[in-house]
């Protein structure tokens, strides 16, 4: 799994276990008149394409990280998540791509805490956004029937998820929507890091939150790659703003074990500001 590792990281599992009739066309849509003309659609050179793919392949999907809290005894906090009702706000390609990543990370969090019943609305929201940015749907009736028939077979579900990622991945690349793909990745990375810091809540390291400190360390290790990815689109104002915001966050960050409570509170607040911009972009 490469370019679209963040897309729906785990929401297919939710679809399998908690959604019936997901092959139907979504009843709600969002506008998007800018996909074809979006400056993020610019051609990348072959060298840039190779570099972008390498960067994205190196970043773990939110589901891989969030799955670590499964069975940890940590409390589930739905208030950390971007409300699914916000989907109607996202009417530009940038906002839609970013929040595909955001909602994917949110669903990874839900699934880790086995909140499958609550994830249906989020699945619908991601599906609406994916349609809006012209990603060929992986939610056709035949695919959903396969998910339902194999919902109790872990290996089969994993294989079908990989097939779906591959289809989305190849479409984004073949249509030169590299910038939108980068935004999906950035949205997922920021949201998963945001959730981790919110879960820590500024608390000093202890046996009870060691797992969260480990997760924070793992996520922050990929900060340079995210910054480099965003720097590949220097003429886009949103990419530049995200780049600068994350670069500023990097100045405040340290290895997680070295944070004082005051420093952790500061980086948590800064990251919350970045994330607030993401979920408010229309």
Single pTM value for the model: 0.83
176 membership: H or E segment, kind and range: none
Residue 191 has pLDDT above 90, yes or no: yes
Reference 211, options 73, 105, 61; nearest CA is 73
Predicted confidence band of residue 24 (pLDDT cuts 50, 70, 90): very low
Compute the distance between CA of residue 257 and CA of residue 109 in angstroms, rounded to an integer. Answer: 23
pLDDT digits (tens, 9 = 90+) for 31-53: 655 444 554 555 688 898 889 88
**Considering the chain, what is the average pLDDT of its residues?**
78
Predicted confidence band of residue 230 (pLDDT cuts 50, 70, 90): very high
Average pLDDT rounded to a whole number, residues 58-80: 85
pLDDT digits (tens, 9 = 90+) for 102-153: 988 888 888 788 777 777 687 778 778 878 876 655 555 666 566 566 544 4
- % of the chain surpassing 70 pLDDT: 69
Average pLDDT rounded to a whole number, residues 225-244: 93
* DSSP conformation letters of 12-57: HHHHHHH-SSTTSPPS-----S-TTT-GGGPPPPHHHHHHHHHHHH
**Burial class of residue 174 (count of CB atoms within 10 Å of its CB; 0-12, 13-18, 19+):** exposed
pLDDT digits (tens, 9 = 90+) for 263-273: 999 999 999 99
* DSSP conformation letters of 230-282: HHT-TT-HHHHHHHHHHHHHHHH---GGG--HHHHHHHHHHHHHHHHHHHH--
């Amino acid at each position: 799994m490469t370019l679209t590792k963040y897309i729906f990281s785990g929401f297919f599992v939710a679809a399998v276990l908690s959604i019936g009739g997901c092959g139907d066309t979504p009843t709600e849509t969002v506008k998007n008149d800018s996909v074809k003309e979006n400056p993020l659609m610019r051609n990348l050179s072959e060298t840039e394409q190779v570099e972008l793919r390498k960067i994205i392949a190196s970043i773990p999907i939110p589901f891989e990280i969030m799955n670590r809290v499964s069975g940890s005894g940590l409390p589930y906090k739905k208030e950390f998540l971007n409300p699914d009702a916000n989907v109607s706000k996202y009417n530009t390609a940038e906002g839609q791509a970013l929040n595909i990543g955001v909602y994917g990370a949110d669903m990874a969090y839900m699934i880790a805490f086995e909140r499958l019943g609550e994830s249906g609305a989020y699945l619908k929201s991601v599906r609406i956004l994916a349609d809006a940015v012209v990603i060929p749907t992986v939610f056709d009736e035949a695919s959903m029937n396969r998910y339902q028939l194999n919902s109790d077979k872990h290996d089969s579900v994993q294989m079908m998820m990989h097939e779906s990622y591959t289809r989305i991945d190849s479409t984004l690349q073949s249509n030169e929507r590299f910038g939108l793909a980068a935004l999906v990745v950035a949205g997922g990375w920021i949201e998963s890091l945001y959730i981790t810091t919110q879960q820590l809540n500024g608390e000093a390291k202890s046996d009870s939150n060691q797992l969260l400190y480990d997760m924070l360390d793992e996520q922050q290790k990929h900060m340079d790659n995210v910054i480099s990815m965003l720097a590949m689109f220097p003429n886009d104002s949103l990419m530049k703003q995200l780049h600068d915001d994350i670069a500023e966050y990097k100045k405040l960050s340290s290895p997680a074990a070295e944070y004082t409570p005051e420093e952790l509170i500061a980086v948590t607040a800064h990251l919350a500001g970045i994330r607030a911009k993401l979920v408010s972009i229309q």
